[in-house]
């Protein structure tokens, strides 16, 4: 059975020594929530993750969810009680607005907490994860009345939420949508249509489920410009806040899928369901994007989170499993063989995972700080907003691509035992796989990055990012110990710049040149971003070592892992740039029939 131990020491290192939250105490987000408080909350959160959620992970996979004849769905054994504990502990309300019962904690905290929840039990974590997305969309775009009715219950976790975009014939291309909203004389709407792949769409964890549904108002504009967003509660809400009649939405079936069996993926049928408009008519995509951007960061973190727990278990196995002898001489003479961890190729896989996990975690939490800066409305809010827009697709796609690859490698370390369900490693692979697909398949993220985000405001965001890297490199230029970290970052940053300039030049000629290089470009961007985070971590570790106060072993390991990242991960940038520069010609040469 897999284990999980929350990386609390890593979080502390990041909060205090890398992100420097103490220096940011002028931000309203951190004024009352400094590192001491955040650490205390995370330590408490770690307990529920390790002790309540993680033990249910395999149960959830084995049992899955069950749809009954009446359309109701039950979650796996133990999920209901665990959800109760989770909600009673106030965990859904961490970063929510105090006006609606939230705790008003910073976003950076939720980045760390969500990672722990997902490492423990990804399928479970999706229930509160989606709920928070609905909370955010309503908080930003809902009318005061909608907020008054729905936000307190979503904050408390008494109700959960879902997002409804996909239909059988349309996923990415929402302009093809057929679900209709018929205006009613009372100002409300009646929603009819079918939505598929609705995570957490029906279940027994909460007394009500609040569906956010994209639909076209009858008579509105064609295509994506006619899409509006609606709140459709499973049970109608009475004026006194109590639950009224069942609304016209029902679960037609649940999908049999590759993984995340503990989460019910539903076909939802809307049959004249009462719905309430969120925001303006035909402006549904704007509100939905609020929710989607939040969800994309969460999905990116799923890649990291499953990679982390898979890594932890691979390390244990590599330390314990005896097989073969070290090439450099017997390492464990008292044993019949040496542990796997003496073998370089096993190390390669473990170090790839470790270097990614720590770099990706730093990157995620740095994004969390950007969200807090934005939310505080402080100086730098515009830049923080730019970074969020620019880097959300990078987090979503790179962390899930690489997180999945790491799960595959963690499974590989187990050899044949990794293929057997009992060990739990293959579940990580199956679960992590979905994160590359949902909330916008990774190819869509790459297209969003090169097609939309690069050019935003005349490239303001990407130029700011280059300046951020350059400023850090300049700061470190005089520090001899940082030279081995700076050089590969500088090289990768230059490759990214070359790729960006190539796009500027060739994209005008033919937009396919942009799209053809988009995935490589996104990965090259991620290497630069993680490289930047690794330089910051190496610097912090070096400073810590020099100060002589902290855990020298921790700092030394950090420096060594950063070195590995620079030497063994960054070179991929060379191949990415070379591929980008070949453009679209060879890729697009064949007729569709020639495949």
- Tell me whether residue 203 or residue 354 sits nearer to its own copies (CB atom): 354
**What is the number of other CB atoms lying within 10 angstroms of the CB of residue 444?**
17
> For residue 183, what is the enclosing H or E element?
strand 180-183
Question: Considering the complex, what minimum distance in angstroms separates the CB of residue 573 from its own copies?
Answer: 8
221 binds its own copies (CB under 8 A): no
Residues in region 366-425 near its own copies by CB under 8 A: 404, 408, 411-412, 415-416, 418-422
Please list every residue from 10 through 49 that binds its own copies, using CB under 8 A. none
- One-letter-per-residue 3-state SS of 513-579: HHHHCHHHHHHHHHHHHHHHHHHHHHHHHHHHHHHCCCCHHHHHHHHHHHHHHHHHHCCHHHHHHHH
Secondary structure letter of residue 325 according to DSSP: -
For 511, left (φ over 0), alpha (ψ -120 to 50), or beta? Answer: alpha
Q: Is 241 exposed, middle or buried (CB count within 10 Å of its CB: 0-12, 13-18, 19+)?
A: exposed
- Among 239, 245, 480, 590, the residue binding its own copies under the rule CB under 8 A is 590
- Minimum gap (Å) between residue 531 Cβ and its own copies: 15
**Residue 17 is among the residues annotated as catalytic for this protein:** no
Instruction: Tell which positions 175-214 bind its own copies, by CB under 8 A.
Output: 175-176, 196-197
Question: Closer CB to its own copies, residue 386 or residue 520?
Answer: 520
Footprint (CB under 8 A) of its own copies, residues 243-272: 255-259
Is 289 a binding residue for its own copies by CB under 8 A? The answer is no
Distance set, CA 389 to CA 308, 394, 590 (Å): 26, 10, 35
Instruction: Considering only the stretches 102-110, 168-176, 207-215, 241-249, report the one whose residues sit in contact with its own copies under the rule CB under 8 A.
Output: 168-176
Answer whether 249's CB lies under 8 Å from 53's CB. Answer: no
Residue 470, token pair as written in the block? 């350059």
Does position 50 interact with its own copies (CB under 8 A)? The reply is no
Among 8, 236, 315, 378, binds its own copies (CB under 8 A): 315
**Alpha carbon 327 to chain centroid, angstroms:** 40
Closer residue to its own copies, CB minimum distance, 28 or 412:
412
* H/E element, 376: helix 344-376
Phi, psi angle pair for 214, to nearest 5°: -85, 130
Of residues 89, 171, 220, 252, which one binds its own copies by CB under 8 A? 171
Interacting positions 325-354 with its own copies (CB under 8 A)? 327-328, 336-337, 339, 341-351, 354
Active-site residue, selected from the candidate residues 115, 136, 167, 439: 439
Specify the residue, 80 or 563, whose C-beta has the smaller distance to its own copies.
Answer: 563
Measured from the CB atom, is 276 or 311 closer to its own copies? Answer: 311
Q: What is the C-alpha to C-alpha distance for residues 127 and 349, in angstroms, rounded to an integer?
A: 32
Which of the ranges 81-89, 104-112, 144-152, 578-586 carries the binding residues for its own copies, by CB under 8 A? 578-586
Q: Rounded to whole angstroms, how far apart are CA atoms 210 and 92?
A: 15
Q: Between residues 161 and 573, which has the closer beta carbon with respect to its own copies?
A: 573
Q: Is 222 exposed, middle or buried (CB count within 10 Å of its CB: 0-12, 13-18, 19+)?
A: exposed
- The footprint of its own copies on residues 488-517 (CB under 8 A) is 510-512, 514-516
Count of all residues that appear for the chain in the document: 595
Q: Contact with its own copies (CB under 8 A): which of 243, 437, 464, 543? A: 437
Contact call for residues 364 and 300 (beta carbons, < 8 A): yes
Residues known to be catalytic: 439
């Amino acid at each position: 059975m897999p284990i999980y131990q929350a990386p609390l020491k890593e979080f502390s290192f990041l909060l205090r020594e890398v992100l420097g939250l103490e220096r940011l105490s002028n931000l309203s987000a951190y004024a009352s929530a400094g590192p001491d408080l955040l650490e205390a909350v995370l330590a408490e959160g770690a307990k529920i993750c390790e002790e309540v959620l993680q033990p249910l992970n395999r149960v959830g996979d084995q049992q899955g969810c069950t749809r009954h004849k009446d359309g109701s769905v039950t979650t796996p054994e133990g999920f209901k009680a665990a959800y109760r504990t989770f909600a009673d502990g106030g965990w859904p309300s961490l970063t929510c607005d105090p006006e609606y019962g939230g705790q008003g904690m910073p976003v950076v905290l939720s980045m760390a907490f969500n990672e722990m929840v997902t490492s423990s039990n990804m399928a479970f974590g999706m229930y509160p994860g989606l709920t928070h997305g609905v909370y955010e969309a309503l908080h930003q775009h809902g009318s005061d009345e909608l907020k008054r009715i729905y936000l307190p219950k979503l904050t408390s976790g008494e109700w959960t939420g879902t997002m409804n975009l996909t239909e059988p014939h349309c996923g990415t291309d929402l302009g093809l949508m057929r679900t209709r909203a018929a205006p009613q004389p009372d100002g409300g709407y009646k929603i009819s249509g079918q939505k598929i792949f609705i995570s957490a769409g029906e279940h027994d964890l909460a007394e009500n489920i609040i569906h956010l549904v994209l639909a076209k108002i009858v008579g509105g504009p064609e295509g994506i410009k006619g899409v509006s967003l609606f709140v459709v509660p499973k049970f109608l809400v009475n004026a006194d806040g109590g639950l009224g009649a069942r609304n016209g939405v029902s679960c037609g079936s649940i999908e049999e899928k590759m993984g995340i069996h503990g989460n019910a993926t539903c076909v939802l049928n809307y049959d004249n369901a009462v719905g309430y408009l969120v925001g303006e008519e035909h402006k549904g995509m704007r509100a939905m994007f609020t929710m989607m951007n939040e969800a994309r960061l969460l999905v990116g973190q799923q890649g990291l989170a499953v990679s982390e727990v898979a890594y932890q278990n691979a390390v244990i196995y590599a330390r314990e499993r005896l097989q073969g002898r070290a090439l450099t001489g017997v390492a464990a003479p008292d044993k019949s063989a040496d542990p796997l961890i003496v073998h370089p190729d096993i190390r390669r896989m473990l170090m790839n995972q470790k270097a990614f996990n720590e770099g990706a975690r730093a990157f995620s939490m740095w994004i969390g700080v950007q969200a807090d800066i934005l939310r505080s409305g402080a100086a730098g809010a515009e830049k923080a907003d730019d970074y969020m827009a620019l880097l959300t697709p990078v987090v979503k796609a790179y962390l899930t691509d690489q997180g999945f690859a790491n799960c595959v490698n963690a499974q590989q370390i187990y050899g044949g035992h990794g293929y057997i369900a009992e060990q739990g490693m293959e579940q990580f692979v199956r679960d992590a796989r979905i994160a590359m697909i949902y909330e916008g398949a990774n190819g869509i993220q790459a297209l969003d990055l090169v097609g939309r985000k690069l050019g935003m405001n005349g490239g303001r965001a990407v130029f700011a990012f280059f300046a951020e890297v350059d400023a850090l490199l300049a700061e470190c230029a005089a520090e001899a110990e940082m030279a081995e970290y700076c050089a590969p970052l500088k090289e990768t940053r230059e490759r990214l710049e070359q790729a960006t300039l190539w796009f500027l030049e060739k994209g005008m000629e033919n937009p396919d040149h942009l799209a053809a290089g988009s995935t490589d470009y996104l990965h090259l961007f991620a290497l630069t971003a993680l490289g930047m985070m690794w330089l910051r971590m190496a610097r912090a570790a070096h400073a810590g070592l020099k100060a002589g106060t902290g855990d020298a072993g921790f700092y030394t390991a950090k420096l060594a892992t950063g070195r590995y990242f620079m030497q063994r991960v960054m070179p991929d940038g060379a191949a990415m740039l070379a591929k980008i520069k070949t453009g679209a010609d060879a890729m697009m040469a064949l007729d569709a029939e020639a495949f």
